[in-house]
Amino acid sequence: MLGERVERLWSAMATPARQAHSAQHQQPPQTPVVDADVILEHKENIKPLASGRRAAALADVFTPKSKENRSARLATDKKKHTKECDDALDNDDDPLAAFVRFVDWTIDNYPQGECVESGLLELLEFATRTFADSPLYKNDMRYLKLWILYASIVDHPAKIYAYLNTNEIGSGYSLFYEEYCNALERGGQYVHSTRPIESDADEADGSIGIEKLQRCTT
């Protein structure tokens, strides 16, 4: 308490000269130094992402120091995120945010991609299904991206997009139509209805995706 009072008094007495002197001695924020060689040595164990990966997160996973007690740290952090998600469902106005953080943490700490140890598939399945009936997230980009990530690691992604289309989840974004079309093209399939093309997606955002999806159906 005394320290806080002294700091307030000092701030109130600050003069331009003193402020300038203080600014000169402030240290600029430090940018983490990343050893690129460490990342290159493990590039075969890193699954590329369309959005890219954070170099600092990759370096943290693969540096020798970080490998010490890694399993224990991961288990502890996973429990923390799981509890945050449980608490968010009961108390938060935006519970999706906790799930997004959990997914981001999983992606950062398991750069090899979906695997049994990561639990990413189960996490995405739970996160997407939990909010499937919530009108709050029908056209939330964060929620759509969780579905897209989920679709990217299942065997039949076109079925996921068909479900989203039927339930009008993410239909306000061109990204939905782009990814839906990509899934159809990869599977050699075609849309069996005109529902996606007749979507009322915002023209400025959805027209490009709808146009591409139209090309997939012709």
Residues 192 and 124 in one domain: no
Residues 63 and 101 in one domain: yes
Residues 119 and 149 in one domain: no
**The total number of structural domains that make up the chain:** 2
pLDDT in tens, the chain (218 residues): 444 543 443 344 444 444 444 444 455 555 555 545 444 545 454 555 555 555 555 555 555 555 567 788 889 999 999 999 999 999 999 999 999 999 999 998 887 777 788 899 999 999 999 999 999 999 999 999 999 999 999 999 999 999 999 999 999 999 999 999 999 988 776 654 444 444 444 444 444 455 656 655 55
Q: What's the domain range around 75?
A: 49-130
Give the amino acid at 191.
Answer: V
Residues 95 and 58 in one domain: yes
According to the model, what pLDDT value does residue 116 have?
83
Residues 149 and 107 in one domain: no
CA nearest 109: which of 137, 81, 140? 81
CATH number at residue 189: 1.25.40.930
Kindly state the tokens that stand for 85.
Answer: 């998600």
Tell me which of 130, 157, 190 is where a domain ends.
130
Report in angstroms the alpha-carbon separations of 210 from 109, 149, 153, 195.
35, 20, 24, 11
Task: Say what the pTM is.
Answer: 0.63
